[in-house]
């Protein structure tokens, strides 16, 4: 029996909030943009078994490059600034399988 990943792409957004104003992804609105990505994936009907799952994660230990997200199974790390960046990642990588080089870290 061959093993198959439950999701084609499993995306983790660091939404960690550090104390005392230390550098972290949530200082850049990571949780709001994770929600935006989740809604976008649902809108495009890319969510569910065999497709895409968007999840929150605690610290992914790349705070200085944040906000960050990672797409598995490829292990591609991205940084992003706004909804337009998220749109590009969803359309290019999650929908069409093409890495967005300009946002890759």
- Which string of b and e fits 63-74 if b means at least 16 CB within 10 Å? beebbbbbbeee
Taking 3-state DSSP, the helix, strand and coil percentages for the chain, each rounded to the nearest 5, stand at 40, 20, 40
Gyration radius of the chain's alpha carbons: 13
Per the confidence metrics, is the pTM higher than 0.85? yes
Q: Per-residue confidence at 3, pLDDT binned at 50, 70, 90?
A: low
Residue 30 pLDDT exceeds 90: yes
Q: Which domains does the chain carry?
A: 9-103 (3.40.30.10)
pLDDT tens profile 65-79: 879 999 999 999 999
Could you give the percent of the chain with pLDDT greater than 90? 77
In angstroms, rounded to a whole number, what is the distance separating the alpha carbons of residues 68 and 50?
A: 24
Q: What percent of the chain has pLDDT over 70?
A: 97
20 or 90: whose pLDDT is higher?
A: 90
**Cβ atoms 12, 55 nearer than 8 A:** yes
């Amino acid at each position: 029996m061959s093993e198959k990943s439950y999701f084609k792409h499993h995306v983790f957004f660091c939404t960690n909030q550090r104390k005392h104003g230390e550098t972290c992804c949530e200082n850049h609105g990571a949780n709001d943009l994770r929600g935006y990505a989740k809604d976008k994936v649902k809108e495009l009907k890319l969510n569910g078994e065999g497709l895409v799952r968007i999840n929150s994660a605690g610290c992914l230990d790349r705070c200085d490059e944040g906000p960050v997200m990672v797409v598995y199974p490829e292990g591609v790390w991205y940084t992003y600034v706004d909804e337009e960046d998220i749109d590009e990642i969803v359309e290019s990588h999650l929908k069409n399988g093409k890495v967005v080089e300009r946002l890759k870290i």
